[in-house]
Structure 1
């Protein structure tokens, strides 16, 4: 699985970070899905190999502008560049009301089919080689996290059992390994499910929207290889800001990931007050805070593979569950 960060800032952009948007692709192939679509997401896409025409599904975590204001522009550009393939939009009902209002008031005309699915705990959607399910989060508006699980993992054939039952190697083996049931010349019917198993564990990524209670994702993170979660503040700053924004600190997310045994943690959605390291001191706007404070706090509470996302970072979650830079 490939993950590309198109925006990693919270609330408003900075000179280094755009607003929330994360792309997920299978390891091979060009189809992809997008989680959130902050302002100027389509501009960030120009700096990547991702084609808007191969985008199959957009998942919106919640209706706050830093997660969805880029939607109208991306949809309009798909129309202008000749898209004809259907596109699915999944999110809270307000996401469709927002797009519908833009279509009606700006004369936006989309010739390609745009299907809307209202997100719920019953969601089970397949796109770009993934199965997507959803979990409700704790934020000041309806907000969701998405579990993205790999489909089409190759099957491994139980050759020893076939030999023991007198089934000679031949075309039947290939059919069974493709998941097809087989009828032999002697009248026996072989069910693929009885002679195959997955060759490896499907890869699983959980991508959360804004959320002040990481434990909301306990069920979704079962057997997950990677959690991508907001860490808007350090715990000290979160206490200064107060509970009203309902965001997480690096400490809270890291503690949850450690307790849940998640091997890889990618933090994102950082407050603009956290500046990247440079030779210059942090700007006044940042209040003197550096992004390294987020990393340092998370490392104190999490022993797995920890990374802080930057715009246009590309990562590979390998078949062995390792998170590798691309």
Structure 2
């Protein structure tokens, strides 16, 4: 029900193999998608991932640090040059709106579509973006105000109880079609109410995408009904201990312990320091997670794709 494409998994600066933070999340039932963060170069990654800016319904920016937002204005401009006219929702710190407006004024930028800007501080309640996609923001702990976003997709399926109709002897055809459309019908001198023959099934999945954060426990309550947490794991614990508390990031150990304590079934880690991006560094991150977490987890690479199905099962999608 949710499809994830990692467009950037490096922290701070891009490297030869990883761009800075950006994540595309698509409703697998249609082409609607959401972008969480837009570090420099994100629009190139979007092109390479064959995502259309025409189908982008919302952009969420976790915080104002450049590796999470410097690609935003260029992306907006390109969407306009590609003839986008549909309004676009942006959920972000109010400073992002000020930056966009100042940049537009100073660089003669004119967008042919409107921006529906929502201050992230006002997104504490669930915001419906489309009929099926909703977003909610959760405050985190970082050097500047930082947020996580709940991404929720809910599908309602209505199925006709055909066995009951067969037992009553209601013939297939118009009668069944009317009931399927919610219309009551007359049959054998009695009224058959559509509501008695429609079975409603609700499918809901909930993923949380965190910004930079040194206190994973802030997400404990919001993770109670989440099937997946995507979170930064900038360092191993040993490196974080050497670096100190100044950068205000999480380690692999911190995230693993949090996920285990809160019974999270799925965990994807991203936003790795360049010192952890080679094979040895990634193995050190993975080994640390294995030590403290028994659930299903992945370390994300650029262009990795994952699918979260209606049962909450997470799987990595093989490239075509």
- TM-score using structure 1 length: 0.86
Corresponding position of 1:42: 43
Corresponding position of 2:54: 53
Which of 134, 139, 159 aligns to 1:136? It is 139
User: CA separation in 1, counterparts of 2:59 and 2:209?
Assistant: 13
Corresponding position of 1:309: 300
Q: SS at 1:221's partner residue?
A: helix
- Tell me the C-alpha RMSD between the 2 structures: 2.4
Corresponding position of 1:152: 155
Preserved contact between residue 147 and residue 211 of structure 2 (Cα < 8 Å):
yes
Q: SS at 2:316's partner residue?
A: strand
Corresponding position of 1:246: 248
Corresponding position of 2:217: 215
Q: SS at 1:11's partner residue?
A: coil
Corresponding position of 2:262: 260
Is 1:319 aligned to residue 320 of structure 2?
Answer: no
Preserved contact between residue 22 and residue 36 of structure 1 (Cα < 8 Å):
yes
CA positional deviation for 1:172: 6.9
CA positional deviation for 1:8: 0.4
Is 1:295 aligned to residue 286 of structure 2?
Answer: yes
Gap runs ≥5 in structure 2:
none
Q: Which aligned pairs between 1:88-103 and structure 2 lie closer than 5 A?
A: 88-103=89-104
User: CA separation in 1, counterparts of 2:108 and 2:287?
Assistant: 49
Per-residue CA distance 1:81-110 (angstroms, 9 max, x = gap): 211111111111111111111111111110
Q: Give the 3 Å change call, closer, same or farther, for CA 172–264 of structure 1 in structure 2.
A: farther
Corresponding position of 1:233: 235
Equivalent residues, number: 310
- TM-score using structure 2 length: 0.88
User: CA separation in 2, counterparts of 1:182 and 1:78?
Assistant: 43
Per-residue CA distance 1:183-220 (angstroms, 9 max, x = gap): 4445675548x953425x41221111111111211222
User: CA separation in 1, counterparts of 2:299 and 2:56?
Assistant: 25
Preserved contact between residue 140 and residue 211 of structure 2 (Cα < 8 Å):
yes
Per-residue CA distance 1:261-289 (angstroms, 9 max, x = gap): 22111100011121322xxxxxxxxxxx6
Q: Give the 3 Å change call, closer, same or farther, for CA 219–190 of structure 1 in structure 2.
A: farther
User: CA separation in 1, counterparts of 2:315 and 2:79?
Assistant: 31
